[in-house]
Amino acid sequence: MATCLFCEIAQRRRPAEVVLDDPQALAFLDIYPSARGHTLVIPRAHAEYLGELDDALIGPLFQAVKRVTELLQRALGAQGFTVGLNHGRAAGQHVPHLHVHIIPRYAGDRGTGVQGVVRSAPDEPLAQVAAAVRRSAEPRPS
């Protein structure tokens, strides 16, 4: 694999403002913050997407997300959080290493919730969408 910016940060070969450092995950401030305290939480193991991360590492990643939200609330007085990840370039993922954004929210900020990220509701009935998703879980013939 080519050099990964976030792997280099996790290995401390690149500088970052680290706010949580544990054996499985690392959290650091986003260099292009959307709000005061905007933090990225990454698994130390390289995975571009959530589906590529070993199942045993998903829990520790989200435990780190939980811990960082607690730290940000206590340290900065955040009144809420928008938490999410951009999965793939079409969704806005710029660094090909799985990372969870934690964006502190404050009364009066100009942001929206995750419902405001995309505005392209499907034209088809929800039952049709759900049926397509359920079909994708069925075993495929060999």
Catalytic residue ranges? 99
Q: Is 87 left (phi over 0), alpha (psi -120 to 50) or beta?
A: beta
Which residue's structure tokens are 């500088």?
A: 15
**For residue 10, which of 38, 41, 54, 34 has the smallest C-alpha distance?**
41
**For residue 68, which of 8, 17, 116 has the smallest C-alpha distance?**
17
Taking CA atoms, 92 is separated from 1, 42, 67, 84, 118, in Å, by: 21, 16, 25, 12, 11
